[in-house]
Amino acid sequence: MKETKPVMSGAEIFFECLKREKVEIVFGYPGGATLKIYEKLYDVDFLKHILVRHEQGATHMAEGYAKATGKVGVVLVTSGPGATNTVTGIADAYMDSVPIVVFTGQVATHLIGNDAFQEADIVGITRPITKHNFLVRDISELASSIRKAFYIASTGRPGPVLVDLPKDVINSVCEFEYPEKVEMRGYKPNLLGHQNQIKKAAERIRKAKRPLLYVGGGVIMSGGYRELHLLAKENNLPVTMTLQGLGAFPMSDPQSLGMLGMHGTYWANQAVNNCDLLVSLGARFDDRVTGKIDAFATGAYKIHVDIDPTCIDKNVVVDLPIVGDVKHVLAELAAEISSPPKIEEWWEQIHKWQEECPLHYEKHDGKLRSEFILEKLSEFTKGEAVIVTDVGQHQMWTSQYYKFNHPRSHLTSGGLGTMGFSVPASIGAAFAIKDRPVISISGDGGFQMNMQELITAVYHKLPVKFIIINNSFLGMVRQWQELFHAEKYSFTDLSDSNPDFQKLGEAFGMKSFFTNRPEEVDSILEEMMQIKDGPSLAEFRVEKEDMVFPIIPSGATIKEMMTKRLNPKEMI
Amino acid sequence: MKHTISVLVENQFGTFNRVVTMFSGKGFNVHSMSIGETESPEISRMTIVTEGDDKIIEQVVKQLNRLIDTIKVVDLSGSPKVERELALITVFYQKGNRADIISVSNIFRGNIVDINNKTITIEITGPPDKIEAAVNVLEGYGIKEMARSGTVALKRGEQVKGDKKELQQNNIQV
């Protein structure tokens, strides 16, 4: 006898699929096209729905949740403006390979293309910024599309997937069957690296005199940090990390050289420039890392491990590509190396560079500086907190002064550089992370880009610590204006146009702090850490015109690295 | 250098658009792009003529492969292949030169598919360079309008069968 399948509505199928995908939390905002889903949601008890205040906030929350946990973040919004508001978050997730699935409502199929109320071609709009997207045109395709969406988002090189759900599809009924396996002949990520290539790489590492591991976000995403640790420790290899890679290897370990690239440490960049073997692990040779391509690690034999073949030879042509899951390749690589390389001289040289030009800032003039706050924060939390930064100077200072000791504890918008990321992303992370403090760090500019979500944190009593490093400027842009744009401070001065952040925090119902004095930083941080039944906010009013050093100007080489503010004569 | 790339894609809503969007988004050149059915109804074949150095072509092929809906990507350049393009060319004629135009058409093994008291429409099929040659000659008479199909291409001989086998195997393996 034929097995009978249950007949379900589109909305019921939708939630049944989320249940099978073990979704625990959805960030969303209801609207006309998703009313039926929200009607059904009323009876759903296996997941938590978080009502956001703006759909962009929902996508960043889903990103924060996904980056902190490694699980897929889920967003549910309505058609038209609801859908278009997710675009920045989707683009952000695409650039940083964050697994999220965005469900958008859509007008009924017979109205598509008619300029119907709240209609937007979101599948067309998001095609270049999603790993894949679906327009579900018939209810018979609903379950399989959702199954594929989660599979595509979370496997291979992760990324955002959008599923567009027309209203009539959601309202109609169909027999429900959840596909056990995903069958896509065009999508089969290659997980195992090529054996011979791995053997060659191991041999190169064994023989290297000046090796360097260049670690990107891929090591964290693949869960390969234990394997990385093993490989680095057993062979005494120096490790430098990209912005997204911070935390993949403990930064308090002496083998960590910190971040490389434009605002990376002097010694990490010197090491890149002078190494004879560069092993790139889950990183993509971004222009903020390489600077001038022709001058990047010119003397090095380059090995590139990445799961995405398009990353290989895209920016920098490498000598030995290994396409595969970096966790798997790292494990094989560690097992394959018969004896550690002899690199004492190399380490001596690196230590010399470290002494030559350490990170520094003015500590003795009594003024409050961002670097000081971040250094304090690092000491205070012992590198154990989940730090969610926004975009700009504070983000770079965090990468320099906060000693990340764990993977998935540094969440930031790297590739797209989305201001307004930190506030919602920290909220998304805080829904999942309960055993460690979640700290959002923003500048005064970026904070104002998604501050509507503060109420989401207050309402859900999430103990996020919102820290605003307020220099009354769009500081990074100001820095570039000073250095490269004739000191024309065009529209970057917010001194007269910033709100009172402390009062703002209080209006949202948060305990809020303010200081512009270094000696008060400790006590404020301490008090914030004690607040566990809801969010708190602190505005640190810092020096207005401090700059992030070192800096290698865009497209330049380490020779052009500036390590301190020069007077105008020196600059020429 | 010009490359002819053959791409098998899922015959699904929006697939063509995905490929086009990828090309424009990545700034790759496209000389022509054609799409049509294959022997299997759920698969379409796109033939793309693009241009670039080896590094760019490598990226083109990788980026095509990266799209979820692409099943197989083959750069046909350098392997034996059959390439064809179809052109419809409408040419002005005067009393005295109608026969000349028809003889040009014959030389290129074209067909006269339409004629009225001012113009004559010729259908020419062949490799892209043959079409170019015909267009060059016909330009002398005054071309009123022209439509070209873009190149379609297949590998020659045994390899085509191999492709098919591989595809079928893929189907079973999945």
Would you state the pLDDT for residue B174? Answer: 31
Distance, in angstroms, between A309 CA and closest chain B CA?
7
Alpha helices in A448-559 (DSSP H): 454-459, 475-484, 501-507, 521-530
For residue A399, report the phi and psi dihedrals to the nearest 5 degrees: -65, -25
Please check whether residue B110 is in contact with residue B134, taking contact to mean a CB–CB distance below 8 angstroms.
yes
Q: Extract the tokens encoding A522.
A: 């400790």
A118 a catalytic residue: yes
Q: Is the pLDDT of residue A572 over 50?
A: no
Residues of B in contact with A313 (CB under 8 A): 55, 58-59
> How far apart are alpha carbons A60 and A85 in whole angstroms?
11
What pLDDT, on a 0 to 100 scale, did the predictor assign at position B164?
57
Of the pLDDT bands very low, low, confident and very high (cuts 50, 70, 90), residue A32 is very high
Which tens digits make up the pLDDT trace of A514-523?
Answer: 999 999 999 9
N- to C-terminal Cα separation, chain B: 36
| Cα separation, B128 vs A420, whole angstroms | 52
pLDDT at B1: 86
Q: What angle (nearest 5°) sits at the alpha carbon of residue B78, between those of residues B75 and B80?
A: 95
Which pLDDT belongs to residue A568? 53
**What pLDDT, on a 0 to 100 scale, did the predictor assign at position B17?**
92
Asked if A167 is an active-site residue, the reply is yes
Supply the DSSP symbol for A552. P
Using CB atoms within 10 A of its CB, is residue A141 exposed (0-12), middle (13-18) or buried (19+)?
middle
Query: Is the pLDDT assigned to residue B167 strictly greater than 80?
Result: no
Question: In angstroms, rounded to a whole number, what is the distance separating the alpha carbons of residues B56 and A493?
Answer: 42
Instruction: For chain B, give the longest Cα–Cα distance.
Output: 65
Q: Where are the domains of chain B?
A: 2-79, 82-154
- CA contacts within 13 A on the Cβ side of A570: 8
- Alpha-carbon gap, residue A339 to B90, rounded angstroms: 75
**In chain A, whose CA is at the least distance from the CA of B22?**
A128
Phi, psi of B38 (to 5 degrees): -115, -170
- Residue A552, pLDDT score: 95
Q: Can you give the pLDDT at residue B78?
A: 85
User: For residue B9, which residues of chain A lie inside 8 Å, CB to CB?
Assistant: 186
Flag the least confident range among A69-83, A416-430, B4-18: B4-18
CB of A113 within 8 A of CB of A73?
no
Give the CA count within 13 Å in the CB-facing half-sphere of B129.
2
At residue A59, the pLDDT reads 98
**What is d(CA A132, CA B12) in angstroms, rounded to the nearest whole number?**
13
- Answer whether B66 sits within 8 Å of A308, measured CB to CB: yes
Closest partner residue to A185 (CB to CB) among B22, B25, B174 is B174
Judged by CB atoms closer than 8 Å, whether chains meet at A135 and B14 is answered as yes
As given in the structure block, the two tokens for residue A76 are 């549910």
pLDDT band for position B172 (50/70/90)? very low
By C-alpha distance, the chain A residue nearest B18 is A127
Residues pairing with B5 in the sheet: B48, B75
Identify all chain B residues contacting A187, using CB atoms and an 8 Å cutoff: 68
Residue B116's CB is within 10 A of a number of other CB atoms, namely 9
pTM beyond 0.90, yes or no: yes
At residue A324, does pLDDT exceed 90?
Answer: yes
Residue with tokens 């920098």: A316
Q: Which chain A residues are closer than 8 Å to B68 by Cβ?
A: 131-132, 152, 184, 186-187
Give B167 or A101, the one with higher predicted confidence: A101
Alpha-carbon distance of A355 to A216, in angstroms, equals 26
Beta strands in A18-142 (DSSP E): 25-28, 48-51, 73-77, 100-106, 132-135
Is 90 exceeded by the pLDDT of residue A240?
yes
- The partner residue sitting opposite A186, judged by closest CB among B55, B62, B68, is B68
**Which of A128, A152, A183 lies closest to B68 in CB terms?**
A152
Residue holding tokens 């590739």?
A: A415
Four-point Cα dihedral A348, A353, A355, A356, nearest 10: 140
Is B82-154 in the same CATH topology as B2-79?
Answer: yes
Bridge partners, A132 (sequence order): A161
Residue of B11, B64, B68, B170 to mutate, testing the A interface (most A Cβ within 10 Å of its Cβ):
B68
Of A16, A21, A55, A453, which is the active-site residue? Answer: A55
Return the DSSP state at A143.
H
B51-96 confidence digits (pLDDT tens): 999 999 999 999 999 999 999 999 999 889 999 999 999 999 998 9
Whether chain B has a CB inside 8 Å of the CB on A7: the answer is no
Tell me the pLDDT tens digit for each residue of A87-118.
999 999 999 999 999 999 999 999 999 999 99
Chain A, 106 to 135: residues with Cβ < 8 Å from chain B are 123-124, 127-128, 131-132, 135
- Strands annotated E in A34-166: 48-51, 73-77, 100-106, 132-135, 161-166
Per-residue b or e along B156-168, where b marks 16 or more CB atoms closer than 10 Å to that residue's CB: eeeeeeebeeebe
B59 in contact with chain A, both atoms CB, cutoff 8 A: yes
Extract the tokens encoding A468: 């605003």
The third-level CATH classification (topology) of the domain covering B2-79 is Alpha-Beta Plaits (3.30.70)
Question: What is the rounded average pLDDT of the residues A407-414?
Answer: 97
CA B124 to chain centre: 14
B174 contacts A186? CB cut-off 8 A:
no
DSSP character string of A353-412: HHHHS------SSS---HHHHHHHHHHHHTT-SEEEE-SSHHHHHHHHHS---STT-EE-
Tokens of A116: 């119907």
Asked if residue B108 lies in contact with residue B133, where contact means CB atoms within 8 angstroms, the answer is yes
In the predicted model, is pLDDT for residue B168 greater than 70? no
What's chain A's Rg over C-alpha atoms?
Answer: 25
Q: What is the CATH number of domain B82-154?
A: 3.30.70.1150
Contact A123 B14 (CB under 8 A): yes
Q: What is the pLDDT of residues A423-451, one digit of tens each?
A: 999 999 999 999 999 999 999 999 999 99
Band of residue B43 on the pLDDT scale cut at 50, 70, 90:
very high
Query: Taking the CB of residue A232, how many other CB atoms lie within 10 A of it?
Result: 22
- Which uninterrupted H or E stretch holds A91? helix A87-95
User: How far, in Å, CA of A27 to CA of A9, rounded?
Assistant: 22
Do A68 and A411 form a contact (C-beta atoms < 8 A)?
yes
Token pair belonging to A317: 């042509």
For residue A479, what are its two tokens? 């820095």
Burial of A487 (0-12, 13-18, 19+ CB in 10 A): exposed
**Minimum CA–CA partner of A125 in chain B:** B21
Identify the band that residue A243 occupies on the pLDDT scale cut at 50, 70 and 90.
very high
Q: What is the DSSP-derived secondary structure letter of residue B28?
A: -
Does B42 touch chain A if contact means CB atoms closer than 8 Å? Answer: no
Q: How far is CA A7 from CA A144, A176, A243, B68, in A?
A: 16, 6, 49, 30
Q: Select from A285, A189, A276, A278 the least CA-distant residue to A244.
A: A285
Q: Is B48 helix (H, G, I), strand (E, B) or coil?
A: strand
Average pLDDT in chain A: 96
> What is residue A112's DSSP assignment?
T
d(Cα A504, Cα A513) in Å, to the nearest integer?
11
Measuring CA to CA, which residue among A517, A545, A265, A244 is closest to residue A372? A517
pLDDT band at A221 (very low <50, low <70, confident <90, very high): very high
The CA dihedral of A555, A557, A558, A560, to the nearest 10 degrees, is: -80
Nearest CA in chain A to B56: A314
- CB neighbours of A254 closer than 8 A, spacing ≥ 6? none
| A291 within 8 A of A283, measured Cβ to Cβ | no
d(CA A488, CA A504): 31
